[in-house]
Structure 1
Amino acid sequence: MKIRFFSSIDYILLLCVLLLITIGIAFIYSSGINSEGVLVSNEYIKQIVWFCIGFSVMIIMALMDYRKLERYSHYFFIFMAAILVYTRFFGRYVNGARSWLGIGDLGIQPSELMKIAFILCLARFLEKSSAEKPMKRFVLAICIMMVPMGLILLQPDLGTASVFLPIFLFMCFMADVPVRYLMIVFLTGMLTIVFAVLPIWETEILRKSVPIIHVLSNIKLRILVFSASLGICIIGILGNMFFKKKYYYWITYFFGIFSCAIAGSWCCGKVLKPYQIARLIVFIDPNSDPRGAGWNIIQSKTAIGAGTLFGRGFMQGSQSHLRFLPQQSTDFIFSIFSEEMGFVGGIVLFCAFFAILIRITHIIRQTNNSYSCYIASGILGMFFFHFIVNVGMVMGIMPITGIPLPFLSYGGSALLTNMLAIGLLMSINSRRLDFKTTL
């Protein structure tokens, strides 16, 4: 068993992960140096400790038969949901969200571990429901997704909550859920964000009244538009039931998306705080609030641009050492890396992440059962979204959502979750030729 395990390890995947973690620890150390060259933070030591814990958990997970987790996955999901409820009421505030549990400096973010619980639970459901009607299967899968998303949004933590969407889409796509159903989730999510930020964009950036946007800022008009849209949706449903015409289906489809987006944007306005919504729009024009919501993007772009081709050298970055970059060891770790290692270093980092995504895709193609395929697909969606959004965020081409860069950003909960995911992938890869047995 041990010989087979070591011979089946994806060493490219493992080496890329270890490379990224090593880089992460080095630049967390660099971020703790002030302008006088004095180390003012011990975060790198904590990250090393979390790496040791995470690496041990990864090995344990890799040695386990992942298929044995299937029968317990829904219990794990329910347990983590209960922990999230507890966190919402009794957790401690960190960066404006009640999302942490712990004592003193020791803490953990349950929403991070919920990602693994959600992947395992949804994979089990998608496998067990393969014979169900596509619409029923899709609706139930959405209900599963809305549990963690809703609880995390109540903290409120928009960044972490948004990660569940790509995980859901990747897994459902691999489970042969019709693309037109998945587009409902994607389009509703995009429209919800647009409808939520348009009123603030009108007042904070455009600074003049636009009649069509006024519909979203006036509660009476919003209710009127929502009621009309919902009414048309109901007519489409009835028309499709009685007349079986295709255009009734598409009327229901598009107006249903529109209605959900209108309702969802209202919920976002109630749940999310003004500064969180401001972050979603300020990337359009950071200079509209250069000392407020736009500060992070401006300083991040300055740091990346200062790196030029080969960078200023390790521990020579001015933006981080002068403390211009907020949250520089977490959300903006790539900015520090780019300033000190330059464009060439950034390319190396991109190649390492790209190699990880390619190896996960290879594991998906090689596996011989649907349960492992769904798990690996969810992990692929999680890593892909984290990488794209974080790098896009620090470059100023995506909104700031507080999503860390996998393996590099400081944070024990995130690193532990990522190492758990890698352990699952190794377990799947080492048993890819096994026939699925009844557990």
Structure 2
Amino acid sequence: MGGNNMGLENKSFRKFTDEVCSQVKCAEMHEDIKEELNCHLQELEEEYIAQGSTCEEASKLAVAHMGDSEKIGFDLNKIYQRRPDYKTLFICSIFIAIGLLVQFSIYKNAPKIISYNDYMKMIILTILGGILGVVVYFLDYRKLEKYSWQLFIAATILIGLIIFFGKYVNGNRNIIFLGTAFDLSTIASVLYIISLCGLITKVYHSKYGILKLLLMICFSGYSILLTNQEVSFVIYCVLIVGLLMYSGIPKKLILLMLALGTFSICTFIFSATYRFHRFISIFIFARKGDMNMDYVVGKIQLLLSNSKFIGNGISKEVISTTPLINVNFIFTYIIYSFGWIVGITILIMITLLLFNLFKTSKNIKNSYGKLLFKSITLALTIQFLLPIMSNLNLISSLYISMPFIGYNGSSVIMNMVLIGLICGIYGRKNLSKSLASSSSSIVTQPE
């Protein structure tokens, strides 16, 4: 095919695809749509040439065969219209409303537990989290992949801030800013995972990839351990196992890396007695000899045993005598005050939320987006699971709040941003191309 004909072909095809895309509001889809349309046009052109048409005639006939560009664009706009996951937004909105109402009941009946300023601060942080979530939704999530190393460094900086400037608040080492304790360790854990979503297969396919990947995993794990926040470390471990499984790396190599990583981290934990005792306390019923923890465990057990199906009503005494009831043990308070019926309803809603997210992840075409979506879903799962088990006395009492419901400003902001991110991924679920320089680096992921 001569250069002039090729120019004519490109011009006519380009005009047609531009007209189609002018009707599609989701600009991120334009490149994928143009590529697909060009493939169809080229196939039609080849058929007409085989039938004896000239290149110029074949190009025109191919465009004519496709039909009205405006109608095609209108139909494609319906298909590729960017919409958030309304089921996820609806359930999370209910959780936020429940959290604000329950915190208000605590504020009104026990001002010493949560003051007016604390309650207003929670509302402000919730609004801020919502705004950031909306901003993240409108951003093209694929741009995150290009900044994966920067996110890894940012997570490490957060760890450094905790180590050098962190103060213990309610059992956790946090950063105090404007009178609010921010749990940067959990945020750093999630940031490490988000960064590794964009790095894991690139590093794996590079020279000495397995060794580099192992060093990155151990480095981030050690960093989190240095903050003395064992819950954040457990969250990180669960997320890294899930990420390795989702990435499509061969299972034998995953087992090898997990074995080496576990050995290295266990060596670090057992090298100091205090680290061992702090870490193992998560997996036993209560910290032996810790009178404060024994009291909390006993108090939770008492509240659960006295809980009724329709609730006991709000008790000022219970609010005043139960440590951290508005933060870490909010679910126990809900069951005792409003009944098992409300507690079970919340559990059902959490199950529906997580089931919907895991199901939705199968519809994401972009491999990086799918890996990111699944990792965030797993992060939300472990954040719900740990406080629920702790509040039901199934594991040792942990210093971790329930997402959207417990009084924890940094957790509310982080999780609302994560919800905005997965809604953004869902709204662009038909995108297949990567914006990273090496778009083919992600391994095809198993369903």
Q: TM-score range by the shorter chain?
A: 0.7 to 0.9
- Partner secondary structure for residue 142 of structure 2: helix
Aligned residue number for residue 104 of structure 2:
29
TM-score between the two structures when normalised by the length of structure 2: 0.72
Aligned residue number for residue 398 of structure 1:
395
Aligned residue number for residue 153 of structure 2:
78
- 1:270–1:66 distance in 2 versus 1, CA, 3 Å: same
* Mapped contact 1:301–1:335 kept (Cα < 8 A): no
- Separation in 2 of the partners of 1:308 and 1:75? 50
* Mapped contact 2:173–2:228 kept (Cα < 8 A): yes
- Separation in 2 of the partners of 1:345 and 1:155? 36
Gaps of 5+ in 1: 189-255
1:197-276 map, 5 Å:
260=264, 263-267=267-271, 269-271=273-275, 276=278
- Partner secondary structure for residue 294 of structure 1: helix
- Counterpart residue identity of residue 282, structure 2: L
**Is 1:41 aligned to residue 115 of structure 2?**
yes
* Mapped contact 2:171–2:399 kept (Cα < 8 A): no
- Separation in 1 of the partners of 2:153 and 2:265? 28
* Mapped contact 2:122–2:407 kept (Cα < 8 A): yes
Pick the aligned partner of 1:320 from 314, 318, 325: 318
- Partner secondary structure for residue 100 of structure 1: strand
Aligned residue number for residue 39 of structure 2:
none
- Separation in 1 of the partners of 2:284 and 2:187? 30
**Is 1:304 aligned to residue 290 of structure 2?**
no
- Separation in 2 of the partners of 1:384 and 1:50? 22
Aligned residue number for residue 293 of structure 2:
293
- Separation in 1 of the partners of 2:317 and 2:210? 47
Aligned residue number for residue 69 of structure 1:
144
RMSD (CA atoms): 3.0
User: CA deviation digits over 1:273-317, x for unaligned, max 9?
Assistant: x6x458436616x8x65843211122112222322211123xx14
Aligned residue number for residue 282 of structure 2:
280
- Separation in 2 of the partners of 1:69 and 1:154? 27
Q: Alpha-carbon deviation of 1:259? A: 5.5
- 1:33–1:374 distance in 2 versus 1, CA, 3 Å: same
Aligned residue number for residue 431 of structure 1:
428
1:169-208 map, 5 Å:
169-179=241-251, 182=254
Q: Which moved more, 1:373-382 or 1:258-267?
A: 258-267
**Is 1:335 aligned to residue 339 of structure 2?**
no
- Separation in 1 of the partners of 2:290 and 2:171? 20
* Mapped contact 1:34–1:40 kept (Cα < 8 A): no
- Partner secondary structure for residue 32 of structure 1: helix
- Counterpart residue identity of residue 334, structure 1: F
TM-score between the two structures when normalised by the length of structure 1: 0.73
User: CA deviation digits over 1:361-417, x for unaligned, max 9?
Assistant: 123100012211111121122111121111111111112231221111111111111
- Counterpart residue identity of residue 183, structure 2: Q
* Mapped contact 2:142–2:435 kept (Cα < 8 A): no
- Separation in 2 of the partners of 1:259 and 1:58? 38
Counting matched residue pairs gives 360
Q: Alpha-carbon deviation of 1:262? A: 5.6
